[in-house]
Amino acid sequence: MTNNDKNGRQWPRNIKEAVERILSELPEEHKEIARNVSEFNYVVHCHHTLGQYIRNQFGLQEGNQALLNACGAIYPDNASSIILSAVWEALHEEGDVSGDGEDTCRDISNGGEKSAKWENYNVGQTFDTLDKLLALMGLEHKDCSNTGHG
């Protein structure tokens, strides 16, 4: 068993290492889109794309027990979801321009009115753009609607 990915880099041993590697590889456009969707939608939508990349490149299906243990997971799918969630959280921490530590993307309303930041926000358009960005990374979104998962 090897502890390296196909490019010879050592597999991440914990969530922090995994998130740092992902953030270093993601295009800025992907990061911006991820900052503007809910954590749930991000994790679900990326499960068969970026999540698969995580499972394949980080050795979750080849025996990277250190990362599985760090995620508190037995199964690679669960570990990749935990890492995707951590990526989303990291993007929201670095994307918080308010300085108050609040999650500005989850709370998009102010007294029932959309804030200026969300004036033209369109979830469907966001996911179309996310699909295009994933395709640029050599990944593609797979429709899960017939699998009982989506």
The mean pLDDT value of the chain amounts to: 74
Note the pTM of the prediction, 2 decimals. Answer: 0.64
Q: Which of 138, 41, 31 is nearest to 95 (CA)?
A: 31
- Whether residue 36 has pLDDT greater than 50: yes
Can you give 77-138 as a three-state secondary structure string?
HHHHHHHHHHHHHHHHHHCCCCCCCCCCCCCCEECCEECHHHCCCCHHHHHHHHHHHHHHCC
- Whether residue 22 has pLDDT greater than 90: yes
Structure tokens at 88: 């989303």
pLDDT (tens digit, 9 = 90+) per residue, 92-112? 987 543 333 343 333 333 333
Structure tokens at 147: 């699998």
pLDDT of residue 33: 87
pLDDT of residue 9: 78
